[in-house]
Structure 1
């Protein structure tokens, strides 16, 4: 038996008990006549003691020789600590060691295995197995486990059945690039790794599995950022014989359950907002509603003056920064530089101070009087002491720029509090999205999303106006889930494919299996998929998903620990019927 107890288990009531512990040497303190060793496992730390009076000389010397992260087993007696440590659960006791066995010597780690480490992110990712020993990473993985268990338990109690779907599938156009896998047995042919189990879960509805879920790996070969990985995990769900309201109600319940179970937070309100309203009020389709700074559109009260910048703009829009009148001119200039960065792309910014005495001072006083500026304040809901910031230009670009500024300011002002949670349903998305480069439409969600009832005929005349029977669940400014009511008949699906530019032959080649299945009694159905990585991060008070993934990739999509992706030898290439032209 390697251990009778864990390193986080022993308490004062265990005093006098003989125990066996195993773990890693976290710290060693040698005072000459006494040696203390902090022994760590994933459950905690127990202090070991060796001293001249009670320990054999060879045992004391053996203890002195221990290096950090060496794996050891000790046997000894639990005794009361003379100097107690109230900061750890085991701080009232220590173990007087009578026997010490070294199970595995360790090299000196490349960084310190402590909560506040000296290792940079790239180094820690290279030695991720060491990083996992640190409490922040370990606790994040345990937290992820708790969320996953809570999801499984809730959905199971609601009658959902977890069904696994294949990882080696057919490449289909779902928006992002597929990861492809060459087939050795079928020369010149390829599998794809799934971007989602979309078509399979729809087929499960045809098969009568009316409540399905799966916690599943998905793969997308796309550009990476802090909240995106080439492989990620979805809570994938589908239900038959449902309308949108059924889906929203079910998954509000799941979200409430997670917030209550995991964070102890009761949330009752799940407000709803249309896509058009979200874009008008916040400039994006996943607004953070924990704070104000809503957009105020100023076209009608800023144009037709002599300020040509506003007169020629498609949209003039502003926000009121709470308490922003305290900003110095230097701080305002810094914000102007911030929005002019290439990543944001604004050409400039107008500002207006709302003074405590009710007067206004703007950067365009030459063109606008006090009465005009008072109207700006009314539209942006600015109060005395606030600062109005205004951008102008093409509608979509300007909204995106001001949305980025709003989020930047909220972060700077401490308005994005990680222990506050504000869910929001965004509904009535456009069914189709115009690609400005090609002039063609593509599905905003995916080709299987149904249009809102009664809008199918608009596809021929006004395709850009058709609304999707789709919905996103937003939490704290992050999309954590998205889904739709699906098309469930072959004729409607064929119309959708036509408007997405598929010929009948292309549609049959890509999705014939699904359209055939619809002819055998497909029920009305819909679903949703949550991004588990992102959901766990937000519940954990963070937004970077890498911190909650055991072995993440870096920003280049590389696993620096195992050095992947990597080249393969010529024999493997031949077996796969591949030839690299370099």
Structure 2
């Protein structure tokens, strides 16, 4: 139906007769001569309808409107360009030529659009008419980028000897973090499959099966609250390999990221990334996925206030807590409204408030703060030195237990950078690895230990014997996350491959002998038959695509995403199903209560 796509013709094609087909981007009447921009997935070509070339086609062109599908046959001609008039368009690749139309066929007429494709509209409207939204050049570009990323991933892993293997979508519900999506079984009344949160156990069983190198562009499902970079169904680049250590996995991912960014957007990134431990990341940046494109690092002030008479600080230090602060250089002019918002953010993160100092001059007597009067001259001098306080700086404090202080100041740090527009127009790509995450986290409310990653994560060699002995405090994992500009691209770990160490892990998590057999019996049995040392990683394909495309939401790189309530408003899903379907599944729903009527309606 066409000889060329709409971004293919150039000056070298002038004089050729061609056939194009696509959508009408726009139609303009210049004194009876109609100019039309014809668009397909690849781009635009200008078409011109002259009555003297084909009167019938020219007459028909007057009826064209946006998004009509048309086919044209015509001659490639140079656009007019003289000293007085220049009709070329340097903004598009086909801007030096146009098609003088000889034949026009209207393939399909379009109704009036619910929104203009070249205008910004509410996201819900875009989601409802996603098939129209995807016609926009930006969305077409994003879909191409995602394809390129996926293809590059397959190429790199194939070159390295990995096999692409599918794992089951209908699986078994196991406690691995988020809430499972459940699927009732008609053939097994009262029993349910679970949609996989990740192919974790299957890929480990593939290693036991001798596959050695596996990958999958895997669909995963989690029934959890949504945000800009989270969806109930998502895609990850899932990788597992045998006879590897942490450095092997890290080297593979650095190679993969280098190829992805080079082949998708022609960006060169470092061959190897900086590595910092979880403890260091939290101490310096207040985050396990720190954005290192700017400073404002957290500074510990326990020594400065070790003998303070300020009761709030002294009581926190006596109880084993800590005091930290960040110096937002040059932001002493922060508004009271911004201070209020930062304070609210800190309280939401678990703080009781947010102390601050506005250094309006070099010396403490010129500082503005509700707390400086409670410090001694020596404490103020030590604080000035420790924080490198200069005129114009803003000091923001966090005091309490270590984890809360780090989290609070980590969030405040990002918000201050946003206020100061530090990252506006920043195109840096700051990759890093965060390693040695905690293996376990204690839940005081439930009085139990939980796996920070998942129950198959291996402790560092120095902590293996502690796990076997049940000494659970402070255990570190052979776990690693790859981070880009404050986003976690993915993470993984070296796995437990011995049955006895895996049993010790389940014991630490409070899994009973009966639960071990019921939920994990198959993998524990597999480990008894010569399981190889193995490890892996999973990268969020949606998130990688989002960052490559320069978007702020993964919905911009997913063809048919759910909205922030988990709904597909285009197809109206989720939706109720017919009673007969429920009856076959032996399921009965709770009837909705009728809405109470106002007195006037009774």
TM-score (norm 1): 0.95
1:284-433 matches, cutoff 5 A: 284-302=287-305, 304-313=307-316, 314-325=321-332, 327-328=333-334, 331-341=335-345, 343-354=348-359, 357=362, 361-363=367-369, 364-368=371-375, 371-416=378-423, 418-433=426-441
2:211 to 195, 201, 209: 209
Q: What secondary structure sits across from 2:218 in the alignment?
A: strand
1:94-173 matches, cutoff 5 A: 94-114=98-118, 117-173=119-175
Confirm or deny: 8 A CA contact 1:340 1:347 kept in the other structure: no
1:468 to 455, 477, 481: 477
Q: Deviations over 1:196-233 (max 9, x none)?
A: 11111111111111111111110001111111000111
1:147-296 matches, cutoff 5 A: 147-262=149-264, 263-296=266-299
Does residue 28 (structure 1) correspond to residue 31 (structure 2)? The answer is no
Shifted more, 492-501 versus 553-562: the winner is 492-501
Q: What secondary structure sits across from 1:181 in the alignment?
A: strand
CA drift of 1:269 comes to: 4.5
Aligned counterpart, 1:438: 446
Aligned counterpart, 2:536: 527
* CA–CA separation in structure 1 for the residues paired with 2:559 and 2:472: 44
Q: What secondary structure sits across from 1:482 in the alignment?
A: strand
Question: What value does the CA root-mean-square deviation take over the aligned residues?
Answer: 1.9
Change (3 A) 1:266 1:469: closer
* CA–CA separation in structure 2 for the residues paired with 1:86 and 1:371: 65
* CA–CA separation in structure 1 for the residues paired with 2:77 and 2:32: 18
Count residues with an aligned counterpart: 575
Confirm or deny: 8 A CA contact 1:206 1:523 kept in the other structure: yes
Aligned counterpart, 2:92: 88
Change (3 A) 1:308 1:362: farther
Confirm or deny: 8 A CA contact 2:254 2:271 kept in the other structure: no
* CA–CA separation in structure 1 for the residues paired with 2:489 and 2:390: 33
* CA–CA separation in structure 2 for the residues paired with 1:333 and 1:93: 55
Change (3 A) 1:158 1:150: same
Unmatched 5+ residue regions in structure 2?
A: 81-86, 592-602
CA drift of 1:560 comes to: 0.8
* CA–CA separation in structure 2 for the residues paired with 1:113 and 1:104: 18
CA drift of 1:261 comes to: 3.2
CA drift of 1:317 comes to: 1.3
* CA–CA separation in structure 2 for the residues paired with 1:273 and 1:369: 36
TM-score (norm 2): 0.92
Q: What secondary structure sits across from 2:170 in the alignment?
A: coil
* CA–CA separation in structure 2 for the residues paired with 1:172 and 1:257: 35
CA drift of 1:194 comes to: 0.6
Aligned counterpart, 1:43: 42
Aligned counterpart, 2:545: 536
Change (3 A) 1:173 1:238: same
* CA–CA separation in structure 2 for the residues paired with 1:55 and 1:11: 24
Q: Deviations over 1:429-479 (max 9, x none)?
A: 111111132111111111111122142342345312111121111111111
CA drift of 1:345 comes to: 4.9
* CA–CA separation in structure 2 for the residues paired with 1:138 and 1:478: 24
Confirm or deny: 8 A CA contact 2:362 2:389 kept in the other structure: no
